[in-house]
Chains A and B, each alone.
Chain A
Amino acid sequence: MRLGPQPGERIDRSKLVTFTFDGWQVEGFEGDTIASAAFAAGKRVFSRSFKYHRPRGLLCCSGHCPNCMMTVDGVPNVRTCVEPVREGVVAKAQNVVGGLDFDLMSVTDKIGGPFTPVGFYYRTFIRPRKLWPLYEKFLRTAAGLGKLDEHAGHSRRYDTEHRKARVLVVGGGQAGRASALAAATTGPGVVLVDEDARRRDLELEGVEVIAPARALGIWEGGLVPVDAGDVLYRFRVERIVIAAGALEQPLVFPGNDLVGVMLPDAARRLVRDFAIRPGERAVVLGADNECLEVAEDLREAGVVVSRVLDLRESSPGALVAEGRKGRIRRLRVDGERIDCDLLVASGGRQPSYSLLAQAGARIEFDSALGVFVPTDLPAGVEAVGSVTGEGLARIAPEPAYGADGKCFVCICEDVTTKDVKRAIGEGFDSIELSKRYTTTTMGPCQGKLCHLASIRLYARENGTSESEIGTTTARPPWAPVELGLLAGRELTPARRTSMHWRHAEAGATILWAGPWKRPYAYGDKPEDEVRAVHESLGVIDVSTLGKLLVEGPEAVELLERLYPNRFGDMKPGRIRYGVLTSDGGRIMDDGTIARLAEDLFYVTTTSTGADAVTAWFEWWNAVWGYEAEIVNVTGAIAAVNLAGPRAREALGRLVEDADDVSAGEFKYLDAREIVVAGVPTLALRIGFVGELGYELHFPSPAGEHLWDALVAEGARPFGLEPQRVLRLEKAHVIVGQDTDSESNLDSSGMSWLPKLDKDDFVGKFALEHFRQRDVNERLVGFAMEEDVLPAEGAQIVVEGRPVGRVTSARRSEAMGQVIGLAWVPADRSQPGTRVEIQVDRLRRGARVTHGAFFDPTGERMRS
């Protein structure tokens, strides 16, 4: 089947490649595409059409049209005409029941005529409404493209690369190459991209050539994403040169989609690149020399060219292609029969202006050429070559020839001239509306082969001009792109503390907590860890806390204005609990503020709040300009909370002088710099978990050393879950868990915290207004009457109506009951009030409580 060696052919005849095509074993040569090898082996049908399941063969053979789309090794909608063949590759037909040559669904083509006009689905399948799921299932199976293999998983890896270029040239034709070379003489940073794999080996001095690759669009700021298969290059460029050329337009006539009807470039490529004879008897039909000259190539390849018709010389009234089993047999020109099995036809070429239109160029109808050309290019964008209309011949005189039979305007979506006329008849009078109704230009080719034809048809039917009709908006991507490429690789950075591997070694269950990986518990009995803290000694890694240093002569003024709290009266070495509010009075974050010196504060935030709080502090200080520096030291400083009745005794053994941590020397809410197991440490005596405890902050690298030392002293590691139980027993609020964007200090039970006599603080104005109104709901504690555990988010029900919600709930061994926090209406918020909580469809009683459940006076943590 192959011709003798052709000058410049791409195949290597010494290397055979075997692969599977629609279930057949096919042989090809290295350098072949899947489609060229299959064509050489006698295959002519490559796909079935979208709606009518008509057989389709190679049309453009350059990666634009949908006709050669198949599922290749599980990847759907691969254009096999440009996909290189590889040993063992499996190309499967898509959207068929049966096979390519005999598709059961092709019955739609035979009998579907009256049932499949444009808009048929919209009008017909809406009633009865209940049946829609059934209709949908059928329609989605009957029409469409390839299917994604849900089980393929991450079979391919995609990457994104950020790059810069001084000049990016899109298109490697004559004009593009000349522009690239000219740009290279003025300096480095010139890149040329071309979608044609043949340009891979193109060598241009001073120019980097990327092929096959496609520029997908032009975004503001000179951003041009380039699809290079597995890599998406995000180019930032100073100057963009578009040399995208012009695309051959199919002629519109009955039977124009038959297998054997080809665009000139397709025939040319089959002969020159792959040494294949595209047919035996051919007719060539065209309106420009590029098309008509193909006759010469065909003759040299041994094809009998029965007729060459120049549409510029004589414009036939009717053209009809007739075939058998979907393949062309003859062409009728004004009634005259010409037998052929190959029809090379083109109406001329249309500049591919899409990228320029996206960049902001105006698209104008050139009445001399009969095509649309770009004008008014934005700064930094140039167009060269035939994309400007340069060198193009006038388009074929008629938008469509003949009227009988199926005359396809849009090959991708199976839209015929009849459909377009019908849409116009139904009143879709703008091209944008008609596009949406008929879906012309919305298929895989994105209008490359049908946009011009549909506009011309529209103009003719409406008796107006093409410039009156205008073009539809060009949007990226210019060519179909794999979603995987846009998504890139899944890269989720995980933050781990410097003690992380100790937790893993101890068998902890690790879970995500914001950006951090944290231990949930060290085994399947979190209650044992809770008990250890209550009865003896526990240690938890709290390195994830946000840690900020605020330093400067005006540090105290800055903090006084950021927090509702007062800090001016704090002595160095003391700690205060602080809550950040917004100017709307809402609670944003909480933590502790330790005054280390007159002008130095150590601030902790919630684990997920560190970055936001740092940005918040810095923003307010950009507004106010206090003489204070804010440094986020979260990553540099590790922290553990050593808690339990034995905490003092254990810590005493690890410091040089146990008196430093004695009850008299180191009191509740004191901050001290001590040396623990040789590590300089800032120790904060605070009690999130409600027992005597020390939060030890120290340089991150010493994490494992200090952790080991504490564990050796008998501290039992505890995870997040036991910590949640312990803090709930103390009714300590977790911001974001128990509060939301509607919570303020008064409603959350912290009305003691803000100092309204301060001149100003963020949130003060709002709080003043809150205080003039009644509080509608309050955050309170509750204890269940029975041993049932409500879900977090469970409803509080009064008289059958939901009036509140549970924010936290746990079974507490120490309290012997289920306890929690909940938002309840203000009139139900008094201690002892009975409320009902929805638990598993049943309403269960609970009593409202205020303050801590466990050790309400705080003796244990102050001890």
Chain B
Amino acid sequence: MSFLLACPSCGPRPVDEFAYFGEVTKRPASSPTLRELTDYVYFRDNVAGVQREWWQHRTGCGEWFLAERDTRTNEVLKIDLPTPARKFAS
């Protein structure tokens, strides 16, 4: 892995400046079944193709952001700042 990743604040930087936090998952809203919880905590799609994933510019500005990356070629198609879910529905 030596591709360049475009940090939303710093621009393209070597990927080793970033921390990878895995593919974007959907956290269950409330009281999931054991199956739903296990799926969320342990299972990943691990696609060979375009995947949406979390990255942090760990040794740079510290920004967390989302990238759409082709896991086969490491081509990064899109970079987004997260749109926070805000509070949980109570």
Contacts and interface: CB of A to CB of B under 8 A. Distances in A.
B31 A583 contact: no
B27 A583 contact: yes
A584 B14 contact: no
B86 A220 contact: no
B4 A221 contact: yes
Interface string B63-90: 0110000000010000000111111101
Contact of A220 (B34, B74, B83): B74
Given A584-B41, A765-B37, A624 B87 contact: yes
A624 B85 contact: yes
B58 A583 contact: no
Nearest to B15: A221
A236 B5 CA distance: 13
A412 B71 CA distance: 38
A285 B70 CA distance: 52
Contacts of A561: 88
Nearest to A583: B41
Contacts of B58: 615
A624 B86 contact: yes
A765 B14 contact: no
Nearest to B32: A765
A63 B5 CA distance: 37
B84 A623 contact: yes
Contacts of A557: 87
A822 B85 CA distance: 41
B37 A618 contact: no
Interface in B1-58: 1-4, 14-15, 19, 21, 27-28, 30-32, 34, 37, 40-42, 54, 56, 58
Interface string A612-634: 00010011011111100000000
B84 A625 contact: yes
A219 interface: yes
B74 A760 contact: no
B31 A768 contact: yes
Contacts, number: 69
Interface in A581-636: 582-584, 615, 618-619, 621-626
B62 interface: yes
Report the contact-size class of chain A (Cβ under 8 Å from the partner): 20 to 34
Nearest to A561: B88
A221 B14 contact: yes
A766 B90 contact: no
Nearest to A611: B58
Contact of A221 (B3, B19, B64): B3
A619 B65 CA distance: 9
A624 B88 CA distance: 8
Given A220-B74, A618-B62, A769 B56 contact: no
B64 A220 contact: no
Contacts of B4: 221-222, 236
A759 B88 contact: yes
A9 B26 CA distance: 71
A769 B74 CA distance: 38
A223 interface: yes
Given A220-B2, A622-B64, A583 B85 contact: no
A625 to B, nearest CB: 2
A619 B56 contact: yes
Highest count of chain A CB atoms <10 Å: which of B2, B21, B87:
B2
Given A236-B14, A583-B41, A765 B84 contact: no
Interface in A538-562: 557, 561
Nearest to A773: B34
A557 B86 CA distance: 11
A582 B65 CA distance: 20
Contact of A623 (B37, B65, B85): B85
Contact of B84 (A223, A236, A622, A769): A622
Contacts of A222: 4
A625 B85 contact: yes
A852 B32 CA distance: 37
A561 B27 CA distance: 14
Given A618-B62, A759-B88, A219 B2 contact: yes
A760 B85 CA distance: 14
Nearest to A630: B62
Contact of B34 (A221, A618, A769): A769
A623 B66 CA distance: 11
Given A622-B64, A622-B82, A625-B85, A221 B2 contact: yes
5 contacts: A220-B2, A615-B56, A624-B84, A625-B82, A626-B87
Closest A-B pairs by Cβ, 9 of them: A625-B84, A622-B64, A219-B2, A221-B3, A223-B2, A584-B41, A221-B4, A622-B82, A220-B3
Given A220-B74, A584-B42, A765-B37, 16 more contacts: A221-B2, A221-B14, A223-B2, A615-B56, A615-B58, A615-B62, A619-B21, A621-B84, A623-B82, A623-B84, A623-B85, A624-B85, A625-B83, A759-B30, A760-B30, A766-B37
